[in-house]
């Protein structure tokens, strides 16, 4: 048993706190490492020594799929991360780069910062304060990846396929039984009649998407391979949307790397066209497909009945080279939505309310399946709002069965479904939650946790400095119409910056045709290009110390939109627009007549 010095952290440590958005576009991990845990433990990067261990509480690594988060920890020499539970993307990314992650409940109370922890990874045993604690041992296929030094090392050693397939995959398909929608999509991708929760399958990918937040790292790793090649370049999509246009010379270099690689390999490439998930929905996603994206909100594609899931750079590299990935079949939690929303209440209010109920890790490594008359009544754009935020509850993905609206959406864009699946009536679900949409009210998520959700009336009067309408969760034509309806005849408060970023150029063009952009401009909003913008917290509308932002973005983690001492509230487009006018958090119905 080895002894290691301990660094302790609490619950829900997110990837923005591990390494903030403004640093992940830097070209190398060496340049990122000094900023590790900068917002919550400024002395960590300078004080950590090779062989030290991080011990944390629940849901460690929640948030984005950025592989830079485990990457900076490994780069600083961290021996392992021990936690009560991990966010599923961080867990997988850590293993893929060769950073051991250990599940152990109880050790957190037995260690102190700077104390000593005895650690036996092979034996699954930890020791502290004279007590021994059992730790969960990794499955055989994950141990194989770690033993090889990570997935890239295993690819170079010719072990990649074996590491991905692993020993836990079912050797013989079981007899067909009632299946969930997610299980049917995985079975199709795996080429087997049926799959069951907990099994590990190698599946063939239908599409792969990566953006400028991480693609430069993937390309660098690609050039480190002994036999670099792409399995199916026609399935790849690269999008520059996070820092668009480039804000620094280093960003410009990362963008050029993407352009050159895409041109060399005939990869579909978008720049200056909009947010990656909106572009994928408009141009590529088809029902029944299994899609990976190097961005955690790839779960958005469930709005069209596709299994989309976020991965890190190494997983994406493997998919590029092999055309495959491995997946452990998740259980499904069903959410039945009944009734209709009241005026002024939006699908965003619904999803934030659900996250507030189940918690930020309430659906960890589960599929969130949405059904019922409430879903049937929603447009594809509205369904995307729900699917997009599923990862914020820890979910692997979200799914909604295709219907006539789905087929019409595809037909308008010249596409056809790859396969049409829905859950069998007698399929097994891990849980079922029922919601009456009439009961939902406008809500906000308070800083710094997306599951700290309260009625918007509980936050009335909180002064704001900035308001943002956009992101892959909002910023579509419905949200822009709603904001314009509120702003028409009114003015943005003189002390508020109201930034609006349409989700794509197609949305922007439609808003121009409808006169929405003129209304927003006349009211004093700043309409910017279609990109990730303020939600990303790196290139536009960054907020300073003590400033308050109300946003339709995807996250409100500490430091997400700028300074570590800033605060982010999340709300609907209506709530954000109304607050921009009032100069404080409010709802549209409280503004009074124009």
Are residue 435 and residue 457 in the same domain, yes or no? no
β-partners of residue 290 are: 307
Indicate if the pLDDT at residue 167 is higher than 50: no
Are residue 314 and residue 241 in the same domain, yes or no? yes
Residue 539, in any domain of the structure: yes
Cα separation, 45 vs 180, in Å, equals 45
Residue 456, in any domain of the structure: yes
DSSP summary character for residue 474 = S
Question: What is the average per-residue pLDDT within 48-64?
Answer: 95
Cα separation, 87 vs 70, in Å, equals 12
- The residue count for the chain: 594
Q: How confident is the model at residue 165 (pLDDT cuts 50, 70, 90)?
A: very low
Q: How confident is the model at residue 169 (pLDDT cuts 50, 70, 90)?
A: very low
CATH of the domain at 363: 3.30.499.10
CB atoms within 10 A of CB 40: 15
- Which tokens belong to 481? 């119409």
Residue 499: phi and psi, rounded to 5, are: -105, 130
**CA distance to 252, 468, 524, 531, 583, per residue, from 518 (Å):** 32, 17, 10, 20, 21
pLDDT at 88: 87
Question: What is the average per-residue pLDDT within 402-419?
Answer: 98
pLDDT at 242: 94
Indicate if the pLDDT at residue 173 is higher than 50: no
pLDDT one-digit tens code per residue, 180-221 = 999 999 999 999 999 999 898 999 999 999 999 999 999 999
Are residue 272 and residue 383 in the same domain, yes or no? no
- Boundary of a domain, candidates 328, 344, 372: 328
pLDDT one-digit tens code per residue, 235-251 = 999 999 999 999 999 99
Are residue 560 and residue 488 in the same domain, yes or no? yes
Cα separation, 183 vs 195, in Å, equals 6
Strands 53-56 and 2-8: parallel
Are residue 255 and residue 349 in the same domain, yes or no? no
Are residue 342 and residue 406 in the same domain, yes or no? yes
Q: How confident is the model at residue 158 (pLDDT cuts 50, 70, 90)?
A: low
User: What is the CA 169 to chain-centroid distance, rounded?
Assistant: 26
Question: What is the average per-residue pLDDT within 528-548?
Answer: 92
Spatial contact of 55 and 110, defined as CB atoms under 8 Å apart: no
Are residue 581 and residue 457 in the same domain, yes or no? yes
Residue 173, in any domain of the structure: no
pLDDT at 152: 80
Spatial contact of 218 and 294, defined as CB atoms under 8 Å apart: yes
Indicate if the pLDDT at residue 170 is higher than 50: no
Q: How large is the C-alpha radius of gyration of the chain?
A: 23
- Which tokens belong to 53? 């261990």
DSSP letters for 327-376: EEPPEEEEEEEES-PPTT--HHHHHHHHHHHH-TTTTTTEEEEEESHHHH
Spatial contact of 310 and 328, defined as CB atoms under 8 Å apart: no
CATH of the domain at 125: 3.20.19.10
Are residue 228 and residue 313 in the same domain, yes or no? yes
Domains identified in the chain, total number: 4
Residue 160, in any domain of the structure: no
Q: How confident is the model at residue 270 (pLDDT cuts 50, 70, 90)?
A: very high
- Which tokens belong to 110? 């037995």
Are residue 279 and residue 214 in the same domain, yes or no? yes
Spatial contact of 83 and 58, defined as CB atoms under 8 Å apart: yes
Cα separation, 499 vs 255, in Å, equals 24
- Boundary of a domain, candidates 104, 119, 153: 153
Question: What is the average per-residue pLDDT within 392-405?
Answer: 97
Which residues have C-beta within 8 Å of that of residue 42, sequence separation ≥ 6? none
Question: What is the average per-residue pLDDT within 252-256?
Answer: 95
Spatial contact of 275 and 507, defined as CB atoms under 8 Å apart: no
Q: Which domain holds residue 381?
A: 332-439
Spatial contact of 565 and 546, defined as CB atoms under 8 Å apart: yes
Are residue 274 and residue 196 in the same domain, yes or no? yes
Q: Which of 527, 525, 526, 559 is nearest to 543 (CA)?
A: 559
Percent of all residues in the chain with a pLDDT value above 70, rounded to a whole number: 96
Are residue 395 and residue 468 in the same domain, yes or no? no
- Sign of torsion, CA 357 281 211 507? negative
Q: How confident is the model at residue 174 (pLDDT cuts 50, 70, 90)?
A: low
Which residues have C-beta within 8 Å of that of residue 249, sequence separation ≥ 6? none
Indicate if the pLDDT at residue 274 is higher than 60: yes
Cα separation, 473 vs 297, in Å, equals 9
Residue 161, in any domain of the structure: no
Cα separation, 203 vs 413, in Å, equals 27
- Boundary of a domain, candidates 416, 439, 462: 439
Indicate if the pLDDT at residue 354 is higher than 80: yes
pLDDT at 175: 52
pLDDT at 163: 42
- Which tokens belong to 143? 């141990």
Spatial contact of 548 and 463, defined as CB atoms under 8 Å apart: yes
Q: Residue 245: is the preceding peptide bond cis (ω within 30°)?
A: yes
Q: Which of 236, 235, 285 is nearest to 417 (CA)?
A: 285
Indicate if the pLDDT at residue 172 is higher than 70: no
Strands 324-328 and 200-204: antiparallel
The tally of CA atoms less than 13 A away on the side-chain side of residue 310 is 33
Residue 262, in any domain of the structure: yes
- Which tokens belong to 302? 């469930």
Residue 303: phi and psi, rounded to 5, are: -65, -25
The residue that leads in pLDDT, 458 or 161, is 458
Cα separation, 492 vs 498, in Å, equals 7
Are residue 551 and residue 505 in the same domain, yes or no? yes
Indicate if the pLDDT at residue 592 is higher than 90: no
Residue 168, in any domain of the structure: no
DSSP summary character for residue 229 = -
pTM over 0.85: yes
Percent of all residues in the chain with a pLDDT value above 90, rounded to a whole number: 85
Indicate if the pLDDT at residue 384 is higher than 60: yes
pLDDT one-digit tens code per residue, 128-152 = 988 999 987 776 767 777 777 788 8
pLDDT at 154: 73
pLDDT one-digit tens code per residue, 6-45 = 999 999 999 999 999 889 888 899 999 999 999 999 999 9
Residue 162, in any domain of the structure: no
């Amino acid at each position: 048993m080895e002894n290691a010095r301990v660094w302790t952290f609490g619950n829900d440590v997110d990837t923005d706190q591990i390494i903030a958005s403004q640093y992940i576009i830097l070209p190398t991990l060496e340049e990122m490492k000094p900023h590790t845990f900068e917002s919550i433990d400024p002395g960590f990067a300078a004080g950590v020594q090779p062989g030290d261990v991080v011990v944390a509480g629940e849901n460690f690594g929640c948030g984005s799929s950025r592989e830079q988060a485990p990457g900076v920890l490994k780069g600083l020499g961290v021996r392992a991360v021990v936690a009560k539970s991990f966010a599923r993307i961080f867990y997988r990314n850590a293993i893929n780069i060769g950073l051991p992650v250990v599940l152990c409940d109880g050790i957190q109370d037995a260690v102190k910062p700077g104390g000593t922890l005895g650690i036996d990874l092979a034996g699954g045993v930890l020791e502290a304060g004279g007590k021994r604690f059992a730790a969960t041992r990794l499955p055989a296929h994950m141990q194989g990846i770690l033993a090889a030094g990570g997935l890239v090392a295993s690819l170079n050693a010719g072990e990649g396929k074996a590491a991905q397939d692993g020993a836990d995959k079912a050797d013989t398909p079981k007899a067909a039984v009632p299946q969930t929608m997610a299980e049917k999509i995985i079975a199709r991708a795996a080429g087997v009649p049926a799959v069951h929760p907990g099994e590990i399958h190698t599946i063939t990918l239908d599409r792969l998407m990566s953006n400028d937040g991480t693609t430069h790292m993937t390309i660098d790793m690609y050039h480190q391979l002994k036999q670099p090649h792409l399995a199916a370049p026609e399935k790849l999509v690269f999008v520059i949307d996070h820092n668009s246009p480039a804000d620094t010379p280093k960003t410009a270099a990362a963008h050029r790397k993407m352009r050159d690689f895409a041109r060399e390999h005939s990869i579909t490439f978008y720049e200056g066209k909009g947010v990656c998930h909106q572009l994928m929905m408009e141009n590529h996603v088809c029902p029944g497909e299994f899609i990976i994206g190097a961005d955690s909100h790839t779960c958005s594609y469930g709005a069209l009945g596709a299994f989309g899931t976020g991965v890190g750079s190494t997983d994406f590299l493997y998919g590029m080279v092999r055309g495959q990935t491995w997946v452990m079949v998740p259980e499904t939690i069903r959410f039945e939505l009944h009734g209709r929303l009241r005026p002024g209440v939006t699908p965003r209010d619904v999803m934030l309310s659900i996250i507030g109920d189940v918690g930020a890790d309430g659906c960890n490594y589960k599929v969130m399946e949405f059904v019922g008359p409430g879903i049937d009544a929603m447009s594809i754009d509205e369904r995307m709002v729900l699917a997009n935020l599923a990862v914020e509850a820890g979910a692997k993905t979200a799914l909604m069965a295709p219907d006539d609206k789905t087929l019409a959406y595809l037909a308008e864009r010249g596409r056809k479904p790859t396969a049409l699946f829905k859950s069998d009536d007698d399929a097994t679900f891990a849980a079922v939650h029922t919601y009456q949409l009439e009961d939902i009210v406008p809500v906000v998520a308070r800083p710094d946790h997306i599951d700290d959700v309260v009625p918007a009336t509980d936050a009335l009067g909180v002064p704001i400095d900035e308001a943002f309408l956009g992101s892959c969760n909002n910023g579509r034509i419905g949200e822009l119409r709603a904001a314009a309806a509120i702003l028409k005849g009114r003015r943005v408060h003189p002390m508020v910056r109201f930034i609006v970023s349409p989700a794509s150029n197609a949305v922007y063009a439609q808003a121009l045709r409808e006169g929405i952009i003129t209304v927003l401009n006349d009211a004093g909003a700043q309409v910017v290009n279609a990109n990730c913008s303020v939600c990303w917290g790196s290139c536009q509308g960054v907020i300073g110390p003590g400033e308050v932002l109300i946003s339709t973005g995807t996250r409100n983690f500490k430091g997400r939109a700028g300074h570590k001492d800033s605060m982010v509230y999340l709300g609907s487009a209506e709530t954000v627009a109304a607050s921009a006018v009032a100069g404080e958090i409010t709802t549209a119905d409280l503004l009074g007549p124009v």
